[in-house]
A = this chain, B = another copy of it.
Amino acid sequence: MKRVYNFAAGPAVLPLPILEKAGSEIADFNHTGQSVMELTHRGSDFKGIVEKAEKLLRELLKIPDDYAVLFLQGGGSLQFSMIPINLAGVEQGEAKKSALYVDSGVWAAKALDEAKKYVNVKIAASSKDKNYTYIPALPAGIAAPEDVYLHICLNNTIVGTRWNTLPDTGAGTPLVADASSCILSEPLDITRFGALYAGAQKNIGPAGCTVVIIRKELTEHAPSWTPLMLRYDIHTKDKSLFNTPPCWCIYIISLVLEWIRDLGGLPAIEKINKEKAALLYNAIDNSKIFCSPVVKEARSLMNVPFVVRPELAADKDKIEKKFLAEAATAGLVNLSGHRLVGGLRASIYNAMPLEGVGALADFIGKFAV
């Protein structure tokens, strides 16, 4: 069996022991004589899996009881619609309400574009002026009582920035966050958020499931025209089993959560992630060929873009191509930057071992043009 170090931004690397366990029981889960993919979702065997996943997620993130934990479909992109539809609660013919969005990256911008269909979007702050290479400061008292929520992207996957200090939205305006690329990478105070969502395919499991953590009171305002599958209240009431859920994804998620718990939970994961990030940023900062486009105080722990140094810009394409080819030969794959921004990027999620980051850091150090 061949294995590589996979630095893809998502779908991304999964822990090898989980893949091996899933493979070993793929045709006979827990002596049922059935694959997890064959288990009826109304039976006790599958209910045990989804309940285990929810329980572990609640324990790891210390999620209070007044928050629902949902395993949905449609990725972050469907949340871009569900958040404004459900939270604004505007019936057809009624006037739109306002919501605040921080424009801090490509996905943050996609979220606010989609929200414009359902709410009056107010841009609370933007870092677009410098290609999203920093997290913009929020003016004090930005949230007015009429603003339904303030939306941020907690970690910007494409540009590699993160919020280190959460914005204070005051008592009346809940904070809503896309946490797709940083959830479970370190401890997080859930009580600071009204809602939080994350596509599973980065730090939680395989593509095809979206985790939503939402204060239950915020689920109760869906307007009557909301498509049933887009109503948080229904998924909350039915505990993610309103219709057939993405069973296999939830199963792998339950294994990933167990793996995190067994490693020592989020404090232990944070320690390893900080060590990994320091190793990689150090290699980039010391490189004579590459540099980081991101201001130091906003650097993501999970997604690390790097670009050819300005003085070598004339050879940029050639250098990138050589780097990608030689890295792949060395078993370091998926290091291209996102197609919208170019350059290079290493995503170093929880499942990327320290050894993989070490190998990449060494490779960057030794790479010559």
Contact = CB atoms under 8 A, between A and B. Distances in A.
Interface of A: 1-4, 6, 8-14, 16, 19-20, 22-24, 26-28, 31-35, 37-43, 46, 73-78, 80-82, 85, 92-93, 114, 117-118, 199, 201, 205-209, 224-225, 227-230, 242-249, 252, 331, 333-334, 339
Contact of A244 (B6, B28, B75, B82): B75
A6 B35 CA distance: 10
Contacts of A80: 228
11 contacts: A8-B40, A11-B46, A11-B244, A11-B247, A23-B27, A42-B339, A75-B243, A82-B227, A117-B224, A117-B227, A118-B225
Nearest to A43: B334
A224 B93 CA distance: 15
Given A242-B77, A243-B75, A246-B207, A11 B41 contact: yes
A26 B23 contact: yes
Please give the count of copies of this chain that the complex contains: 2
B244 A246 contact: no
A22 to B, nearest CB: 6
A207 B75 CA distance: 15
A248 to B, nearest CB: 5
Is chain A's interface secondary structure helix, strand, loop, or mixed overall? loop
Contact of A74 (B20, B28, B73): B73
Contacts of A75: 73, 229, 243-244
Contacts of A201: 244, 247
A225 B26 contact: no
Nearest to A24: B23
A206 B248 contact: yes
A19 B14 contact: no
A207 B247 contact: yes
Contacts of A9: 40
Given A13-B38, A199-B244, 10 more contacts: A1-B27, A3-B27, A6-B34, A11-B41, A22-B26, A37-B207, A77-B242, A118-B225, A201-B244, A207-B244
